[in-house]
Amino acid sequence: MKKRFRLSEFLAEKLITATAFMSFTFIVLIFIFVFRETLPIFSAPDEIAATEELGEQETYGNIVLTDAERAVEEKQNKSIAAEEGVTAKNLAGDRWQPISGKPKYGLLPLIIGSLKVSLIAVLLAAPIGILAALFTAAFAPKWAKEALKPMIEILAGFPSVVIGFFALVVLATFIQDFFGLEYRLNAFVGGVALSLAVIPIIFTISEDAISAVPKSLTEASLALGATKWQTALKVVLPAATPGIFASVILGVGRAFGETMIVLMATGNAALTSADPFEPVRTMSATIGAEMAEVVFGETHYNVLFLIGSILFLFTFTLNAIAEIFVRQRLMKKFSGN
């Protein structure tokens, strides 16, 4: 039969092609934008604009000040004279004090903070997510499977600000009382809250990977006399390893990039200690808290974009690794070649 040209189909096809490439373009543009805003840090420092004589600022409202009030005003004015505008030579330092007479942009505590919270979150979420996935895919009766999977996936769409608020108000008190902690808000509270956001990701992808293990493998194992448990642990789980690994990697990426939960639950103190029960300040929370305040084009602004670039590269690498594992290893394994 001869194909007929249909205008609507032609247009629809072009439209979806365009949309597909649009998201691609957006990502590239965002990439360029983030890196471009980072660059000024690495170029030669601008001559700090000569402190030109500004003269008196106008005031409005006729208030005659008393002496005590004039002292208050003078103190408030004097204090503000401390100048900012220093180059970012100290990126490797261990102090994050961007608002200061001598700003310190040490990224070390922020990187440690992000790693610490992500690690705690994934250590908690991975076992739970994977075991839940194993149950759902290999053991659960059909009705349980049909109920569990969508429910846990809904958890993924839970607004992170709600999880963060819950952690700030309820979880933090509970954990402090339970462990008798000195700091109410700390990396551990943040990690526990974050794991709620990570579990669904690990669960969903692991579940897909386990379900994708060919029936023939399971049946062969059972036919040889292995029990259901032996089959699940020794046959199904190893076969699904690449997919599970990928899910964990994506979970780390999610934990690393999450902002609202850690901003609310971790105390945001830029410390470098390894103690999981001390407050931390993560890279994402730093951007979230400070981006709204900086003056565009300042060193502080550029440093925040540098942090953004680091986060971007990190999650990008993790996503790429996960993709390679799922696509290449897993597919090769089951395609029979």
Partner 1 sequence: MYSGLSLRLVLLTYPKGEIKVKKIVATVLLFTFSSSMFAADVITVKGSDTMVILAQRWAEMYMKMNPNVTIQVTGGGSGTGISALINGTTDICNASRPMKPTEKQKLKHRFSSLGVEIKTAKDGIAIYVNEKNPLKELTVQQIKDIYTGKITNWKEVGGIDSRIILYSRENNSGTYVYFKENVLDDEDYSPSCQNMPGTAALVNAISKDPNGVGYGGAAYAKGIREVAIKADANSPALLPIAENVKSGQYPITRFLFMYVKSKPSGAMKEYIDWILSEEGQNIVTKVGYFPLR
Site string for partner 1, 218-257 (x = CB under 8 A): --------------------------------x--xx-xx
| Interacting residues with partner 1 between 308 and 327 (CB under 8 A) | 308, 311-312, 315-316, 318-319
**271-278 contacts, C-beta under 8 A, 24 or more apart:** 271/109, 271/113, 272/94, 272/108, 272/109, 272/112, 274/112, 274/116, 276/116, 276/120, 276/186, 276/187, 276/188, 276/191, 277/179, 277/181, 277/182, 277/183, 277/186, 277/187, 277/188, 278/183, 278/186, 278/187
| Interacting residues with partner 1 between 83 and 102 (CB under 8 A) | 83-85, 95-101
| Interacting residues with partner 1 between 290 and 309 (CB under 8 A) | 290-296, 305, 308
Contact 138, 217 (CB under 8 A): no
Structure tokens at 274: 């390894």
Identity of the residue, 150 or 297, whose beta carbon is nearer to partner 1 in the bound complex: 297
Look at the block and give the residue holding tokens 């830029």. 270
Asked if 79 touches partner 1 (CB under 8 A), the answer is yes
* Beta bridge mates, 104: 97
Site string for partner 1, 167-186 (x = CB under 8 A): -xx--xx--------xxxx-
Q: Figure out which of the listed residues 58, 141, 336, 337 binds partner 1, where binding follows CB under 8 A.
A: 58
Of the candidate spans 73-81, 130-138, 211-219, 230-238, the one that interacts with partner 1 by CB under 8 A turns out to be 73-81
Site string for partner 1, 114-153 (x = CB under 8 A): ----------------------------------------
Asked if 77 touches partner 1 (CB under 8 A), the answer is yes
